[in-house]
Amino acid sequence: MINTGDPSGVATDSVQAVAQIREAQTGYDIFKTLKQFMPIFDLDRFVVFVAKNDGRTDLDDRVVLTNWDSELIQRAMENDFYHWSFVTDLRASVLPKSVSLGAALENGAEMNNRGLAEFLLSKGYDAIVHLPTRSSNGKTGAVSFSGRRGVVEDGEVMHLNYVAEHAFERLMHIFDDANARENPLSDREIECLKAAARGMNVSETSRKIGITSHTVNYHLANAQKKLGARNKLHAVVNAIQQGWLGHF
């Protein structure tokens, strides 16, 4: 168990978190460890991005693990989060970067989407730590932590980076192992599950994919059966844990 109640034990907690990550068998194992680890730093949100081999920049195709709430994910997708000037500045850095979104707004930083920035602040995404990552199997990406606090200091960033690097490394190998196994889901079933993961209902999925609502339900039911899932949400979780909603 990670000791989140003792600030003086951050180094020990970081080592314990990495030990848990090394033993992780699924993405959900890493999810639980990161969620348990972050409160040490008064941070409560994380997201893991991976660069797509085909160069696509759609947010939902780059995010492989996150505890962002569904409202934020939807707003970010609607506002082209990946090309938001605040994010492009972070992505341009090859070193860990710690910033305050609130301070950037107060200082008059140029942004092409202040509305999204103000929404993020209202949800508590002020302090942001962006950590570029690369795995031993050739994947590149980043891990980002955020929360309602002041700028994360360099000493704290060092510990966060240590955990982020191990989380990304283990996660990419978990996905590689999953991709080496035969994916039981059809392309249509994956499309329908990904839509469900983004919070779309059956009617919205029908319009997006260009098939009838009846067919959407048919594919979701088939996916649930193949994954041994109790319901649609359980099927989405199972597919994400197995790395079957996308190849990276």
Residue-level pLDDT at 181: 66
What tens-digit pLDDT sequence spans the chain (248 residues)? Answer: 444 445 557 889 999 999 999 999 888 899 899 999 999 999 999 999 888 765 555 666 678 888 887 677 777 777 778 788 888 889 899 999 999 999 988 887 767 788 888 999 998 899 999 999 999 999 999 999 999 999 999 999 999 999 999 999 999 998 887 666 678 999 999 999 988 877 789 999 999 999 999 999 999 999 999 999 988 888 887 787 666 776 43
Contacts of 139 (CB under 8 A, 6+ apart): 50, 51, 168, 172, 248
Residue-level pLDDT at 58: 63
Query: Residue 160: what residue type?
Result: L
Residue-level pLDDT at 81: 81
Mapping DSSP onto H, E and C, the string for the chain reads CCCCCCHHHHHHHHHHHHHHHHCCCCHHHHHHHHHHHHHHHCCCEEEEEECCCCCCCCHHHHEEEECCCHHHHHHHHHCCHHHCHHHHHHHCCCCCEEEEHHHHHHCCCCCCCHHHHHHHHHCCCCEEEEEEEECCCCCEEEEEEEECCCCCCHHHHHHHHHHHHHHHHHHHHHHHHHHHCCCCCCHHHHHHHHHHHCCCCHHHHHHHHCCCHHHHHHHHHHHHHHHCCCCHHHHHHHHHHHCCCCCC
